[in-house]
Amino acid sequence: MFEPGEQFAYGLNTDLLGYLVEVVSGKPLNEYFAEEIFEPLGMHDTYFYLPEDKADRLVTLYAAVDEGLVVSQGDEADIKLDDPLYPATGARRYFSGGAGLSSTAHDYARFLQMLLNDGELDGARILGRKSVELMRAPRVDRDGDGTPDLGFGFRVVSDIGKHDEIGSVGTYAWDGALNTTYWVDPAENLVAVYMSQARPTKSDMRERFTALVYQALE
């Protein structure tokens, strides 16, 4: 599509990295994540596929259509879902390195706090400090405005003047397909998680949440 480093496009690159982890570790990715990330961080509600005794906690997926907000059947948005109840009813065979985990706000906040702490949380060292620095360093111009704003898996605020929301230089983040978002702001010693379960959506709550968090700072 283009020369490496020139642009950004979704692909299976991170899934390939997940498979590389399986080859090097000799373990399925779900087992590796559980042993090396989730258990050390106390993330007890994070899975590729939900256990049967937790399947009833899966949040309903909604869709905003002309008639209003309805329970999604999986075909209302540009991304078609074979089954909106995945990961409770999926084939349970594919562990994607680039997507597919289900979690809670509490668990994901602990993961983000580990990143904010340069790879460590409550005595558990998950990543080296220099690795986290490398991950959050902008290197690719994602939106074509001449300023690098994409690190290893994160969009990064490099220039607050070109950022379309209130925030801080150095903040790194990503948005989820179902209108979720998170960010890590080292300058403010802040992590934030916004959970939603809707696609398509007409809500601006994600953007309003960001504004409310920053407006609340002293």
**Chain centroid, CA 43 distance in Å:** 15
What's the CA dihedral at 35, 40, 45, 46 to 10 degrees? -50
Q: What is the pLDDT along the chain (218 residues), one digit of tens a residue?
A: 888 878 888 889 899 999 999 999 999 999 999 999 999 999 999 999 999 999 999 999 999 999 899 999 999 999 888 889 989 987 888 999 998 899 999 999 999 999 999 999 999 999 999 999 999 999 999 888 889 999 999 999 999 888 878 999 999 999 988 999 999 999 999 999 999 999 999 999 999 999 999 999 99
- Alpha-carbon distance of 74 to 147, in angstroms, equals 36
- Alpha-carbon distance of 193 to 4, in angstroms, equals 31
- Taking a C-beta distance cutoff of 8 angstroms, is the pair 29, 166 a contact? no
For residue 200, is the peptide bond before it cis, meaning its omega torsion is within 30 degrees of 0? yes
**Chain centroid, CA 180 distance in Å:** 8
Phi, psi angles (nearest 5°) of residue 62 = -110, 165
Residue 165: predicted pLDDT: 85
What pairs with residue 69 in β-bridges? 64
Residue 30: predicted pLDDT: 96
**3-state secondary structure (DSSP) of residue 173:** strand
State how far the alpha carbon of 28 is from the alpha carbons of 44, 53, 164, in Å: 18, 22, 40
Residue 103: predicted pLDDT: 95
Give the side-chain half-sphere CA count within 13 A for 38: 18
Q: E strands of 39-168, at which residues?
A: 62-65, 68-71, 120-121, 124-125, 155-156
